[in-house]
Every structure is written in C-alpha cells, then in structure tokens.
Structure 1
Amino acid sequence: MTAENQVSVIGLGDMGSAIARRFVDRGYATTVWNRTASKAAPLADAGAATAATAAEAVAASPLTVLCLLDGTAVEHVLASLDGAAAGKVLVNVTSCSPAQARANGRWAHEHGAAYLDGKIMGDPPYVGTPNIMLSFSGANDVFTAHEATLKELGPITYLGEDAGAAAVEFLAQVAVSYELLIGFLHTLQLVQAEGFDVTEFAERAAASVAAHPPLLTTMANAVKNGDYAPDLGPLKVQAALMDDLIGHRECLGVDALRMREIKGLMDARIAAGHGDQGFSSLFAQLPKPTP
C-alpha cells in the first residue's frame, strides 16, 4: 500500500462516517478515530483501522480529513495532536468561519503541517456521487498533490491559496438558500391567509424562480462594475409596488420586515438621484461591512 492510498478520518458523525466508508470502499488503507469509540465499529467491520487517539490517527496516514461538529471541536482535536501533525496534511471539512479556517492554517504551519480547508454541500448518502459539491482552499501545491484522493468524495472546486476561501463560498451559498427559503415561507403564509392553495402557488413560483439564474449573474456583474442598469425596471417604477406589498402583508399579520427594508433602500437610492437604476443598485445603499 503506497502513501497515496493511506488516509485517516477524524470524526464519525453521519458525514464523517460516509467519508470514511467511501475511502474504505475505494480501497484506501483508512484509519478512523472518534471521541465516542463505538461509532468506529461499523467501519472497523468494513476494514478500517481504528486509532485510540486523534494523534494516533494523524500519525497513521500522510493525509487526515477532519469532519467534526464545529470549529471548537476542531480546535480541541488540534490541541491534542502534540507533534503528530508534523509533516502531515490536514484537510478540515468541518463548517467554520473564514477566520477560523485561516487560524487553523496558521496553526498547521506553526506545527510543521500543511492545511487545506474544505466545505461540503450535500448530504452524507451522496458522498462519492455527482450529487454533492465540495470546495477546497489552501496551498495550491498541497491541493494538487492530493486532488485525486479528494475527488473520491465527489466533484470539487479549488478556490485558491487563501485558506478561508472555501468557508466564504460555503457560508455565502448557504445564506442565499436561507434568505430565499425564509422569504418563501413568509409568502406561503400570506397565500394561505388569503385562502389559496400553497402547493399550487409553489408550482407557479418554482417556474418563476427558474428564470432567476441569468438575473443573478447580471446583478453580480453590475455590482462588480458599478454600472447599475435597470435590471428589473427603474427603481422609481419598482418603488410604486412597495406600499401595496407592505400593506397587503401587514393587514394579514404577515411579516413585512424585508419589504420595509427594500422600500427604505429604494427610497434612499431614488432620493440620491438614481431612480433610473435597477434593483442591483441597492447594493450601493447597503451599510458598509466592518473591516
């Protein structure tokens, strides 16, 4: 067995177990460790080696994948490794902030290890299939050296040398979904309050949402270039809808917070003399992020 076919997995929740199982099934000499040792039993039965400690798992392979509950759990594992990390590659696919990912990268460098940060979009049953998306960031030469192994887990995208890039991508992708879906739930509440069938409405709304991908690209280009064409029509026309949207929701007791936010941004943008611009121009009215 060559070093390229050896891998360790730390963390055996649903996703970590799916990752370890994939490596075992693909013929990798796989070592696993979990704080609750009993979770390793099914993988041991499948052919994986079990380690007594996280440090032992890292020492067993040139590449270790960490898939834990959160960033705090990753910090605890790293602190337990002593000198075991030296000369190894640590790949963290645990959800964490970009700042945490960069701090993990610094920790690895200080302890003689290489670090890649990775994020997974998809459910455990889809590990190793085209129905999952993985992104990685960190040193390019490290990624290139282990790309073939990481591709065993599914389609991957490399986002550059900044260890925090994969976390930025992941959190932004998830945020888009949550922003859309909470708005959708509020809208279903409105439709239901008016006595209409929410399933029938959802079918029609899905067709409308299907037209959005080109709009997203158009809006992103406008933000990037600062050239705000009337993408959904001029703001001074769009703004005329807002009182109706807000009034309809509030008369039914449905949340109108987002609608009021949009109206405030539109009013401010129009007052600044930009009523001929489109919805994407509201980006210029958003409060500036804290550096």
Structure 2
Amino acid sequence: MNSTDSPVTVIGLGLMGQALAGAFLKAGHPTTVWNRTAAKAGQLVSQGARLAPTLCTALAPGSLTIVCVTDYSAVRELLGADDVDLDGTTLVNLTSGSSAQARETAEWAERRGARYLDGAVMAIPSTIGTEEAVILHSGPQADFEAHRSTLGALGTVTHLGADHGLASLYDVAGLTMMWSVLNAWLQGTALLRTAGVDAATYAPFAQQLATGVAAWLPGYAQQIDNNSFPAEVAALETEARTMEHLIEESEALGVNAELPRLIKAMADRAIAAGHGAEQYPVLIGEFSRPQTN
C-alpha cells in the first residue's frame, strides 16, 4: 500500500475534504470521493477523481478511507448505516473532536471490522499537500506505517502513539498555543494603539518576543517533568508584580484587563500556596487543577 498509485477514498468534501482529495490526486493516487451533496465533487471529478454513487460503493475491503466531516456523530451516522460494510477497511478519521470521542469511535469502528487511525489536521486547506501542513495520527503504529507513504501526500505526517485520543489532545493543545499567542499580541496592540502605534509597526517586535519566549520551552518543560522549579530567571512573585503593572496600565489607558487579571489570579493562588519563590512553570499546578465555581 506504499506505492504512489495506491487507491484512496475521501468521505466528506467540505473545504478541507476537497483539499485532501486534491492532494491525493496531485500525488498520483486513484481517488474516489463521496459527499452527501454530490455537486461538491465537480472540480475533483474534472481533475480525475471518481465520484462514488453511494457511500457503500465508495468503500472497498483493504482500502484506505479518509473521513473528514462535521463531527464524530456524523462519522458514526454515515458509516453506521446498514448497507455500509467496514470490514477490512482502514479508516483515517480527520474529523475534529475530543479525545474521548476518538477513543469511542475507534472501538466502534474496530467492532465493525475496520482498522482505525484518528488524526488532526494542523493546517489550513491551502497548505494541504505541502510540508507546511502538519497531519497528526494516533492509533496502532502498524496501521500507520502500512499507509505512511500514501498519507504523506497530505503534508508532514507524524504518528504520536497507540492511544487513539492523542491526536485530538495535541490538536487542542496546539489551539491553546495559537490563541494564547494571538490574544497576547492583541492585548499589546490595544495598549500601543492608545499611543498611536499601529498593529503593523508592533507586529515584528511581537514576533521577535514570541520567538524568544518559545526558546524557553524545553528548559521549562524539564522543570515541569522534574517537578522542580528553581528561579533561574525570575521568581513567580516578581512576575506577579509585573502582571499588576500590566493590569494598572491597561485600566489607565481604557484597555480591557480581563486576560491579565485572569493570569494574575492564578499566580496569586500559587503564591498563596507557597510557590512565590519558584519559577513561572510552577503555574502548571494551577493549569492542571479542575475549575471550581
């Protein structure tokens, strides 16, 4: 199944599904597509894809089937129909959802005779088929290795481990990184706009800072894994005083201070628990704590 002409089926032709099918076609794989709204397959058919008349005819024993639909409920609704035979197929589910849904769907698919890999697309449709597109997979490594070459047509593919939920967990972990960086940049932009500095002027400086902070992560990760947080750069209580400065400056300039107040509240709890002299990663305890009302 590693040859460049190995067949692939793509179920779901939203913007991402169309990009996935297009990448397989470009790489030379015979590609069958199916979508509830068949008209969405028009451009792919013109590029050489085969439009399956029904979902059950889109699947074949031993085939590699990529699923990219609205949610996990839709996956099970579509593939759980009485006339759909999953026995012998390999399903790669690139639908977004939770780790629990991934594990439950893996068990469901395996009961129906399918091999199952869960996945997450860490990319936008326009990058699919390039190295920039990162596609995460989790599930049995043997199933991933059997189709690694074919899946590689989509971008940079990575196998995370046997736990089917890992791809979904990495997905949301990546989203929190993305939103946190963007939110921090927006906070800073809002502050600087009060002095007439536009976003384009601030962006290169913010990018440099973000790159610098990212370089701290391996060392901070070692502290977390060792559960030891010596203050090599600054103590948390020092960081908390700087947070207070950010809050005061924001409020004085009429800029929303909800985000820094949230982080300051977490830091205050950690300091009250005796961690004020330790380094910032000690806040992992607060992030790991269940939310209380």
Would the TM-score normalized by the shorter structure come out above 0.5? yes
Q: Retained in 2: the 8 A contact 1:95–1:167?
A: yes
2:211 corresponding residue in structure 1: 210
> What is the DSSP-based 3-state SS (H/G/I as helix, E as strand, rest coil) of the residue aligned with 1:20?
helix
Q: Which amino acid aligns with 2:78?
A: V
1:53 corresponding residue in structure 2: 54
What CA deviation, in whole Å up to 9, does each residue of 1:236-260 have, x standing for no partner? Answer: 3222223221111112332222222
Residues 32 and 217 of structure 1: is their aligned pair in 2 closer, same or farther, counting only changes over 3 Å?
Answer: same
What CA deviation, in whole Å up to 9, does each residue of 1:264-284 have, x standing for no partner? Answer: 233333333332211111222
Structure 2: distance between partners of 1:184 and 1:279: 20
What CA deviation, in whole Å up to 9, does each residue of 1:59-85 have, x standing for no partner? Answer: 376110011123332232222264411
Structure 2: distance between partners of 1:61 and 1:4: 15
Q: Retained in 2: the 8 A contact 1:54–1:80?
A: no
Task: Determine what percentage of the aligned residue pairs are the same residue.
Answer: 38
1:202: how far off?
Answer: 2.0
After superposing the two structures, state which structure 1 stretch, 148-157 or 226-235, moved more.
Answer: 226-235
> What is the DSSP-based 3-state SS (H/G/I as helix, E as strand, rest coil) of the residue aligned with 1:228?
coil
Q: Retained in 1: the 8 A contact 2:91–2:116?
A: yes
1:276 corresponding residue in structure 2: 277
Q: Retained in 1: the 8 A contact 2:124–2:133?
A: yes
What CA deviation, in whole Å up to 9, does each residue of 1:75-121 have, x standing for no partner? Answer: 32222264411111111111111111111101111101110011111
Q: Which amino acid aligns with 1:132?
A: A
Residues 189 and 3 of structure 1: is their aligned pair in 2 closer, same or farther, counting only changes over 3 Å?
Answer: closer
Moved over 3 A (4+): 1-4
> What is the DSSP-based 3-state SS (H/G/I as helix, E as strand, rest coil) of the residue aligned with 1:156?
strand
1:126 corresponding residue in structure 2: 127
Q: Retained in 2: the 8 A contact 1:116–1:138?
A: yes
> What is the DSSP-based 3-state SS (H/G/I as helix, E as strand, rest coil) of the residue aligned with 2:121?
strand
Residues 227 and 43 of structure 1: is their aligned pair in 2 closer, same or farther, counting only changes over 3 Å?
Answer: same
Q: Which amino acid aligns with 2:80?
A: A
1:150 corresponding residue in structure 2: 151
After superposing the two structures, state which structure 1 stretch, 72-81 or 40-49, moved more.
Answer: 72-81
What CA deviation, in whole Å up to 9, does each residue of 1:175-216 have, x standing for no partner? Answer: 110122122212211211233333222222221111122212
1:21: how far off?
Answer: 1.8
2:196 corresponding residue in structure 1: 195
> What is the DSSP-based 3-state SS (H/G/I as helix, E as strand, rest coil) of the residue aligned with 2:183?
helix
Are positions 1:88 and 2:113 aligned together? no
After superposing the two structures, state which structure 1 stretch, 124-133 or 270-279, moved more.
Answer: 270-279
Match runs of 1:219-230 below 5 Å? 219-230=220-231
Q: Which amino acid aligns with 1:264?
A: A
Q: Size of the alignment, in residue pairs?
A: 290
2:36 corresponding residue in structure 1: 35
Q: Which runs of 5+ in 1 are unaligned?
A: none
2:182 corresponding residue in structure 1: 181
What is the RMSD computed on CA atoms of the aligned residues?
Answer: 2.2
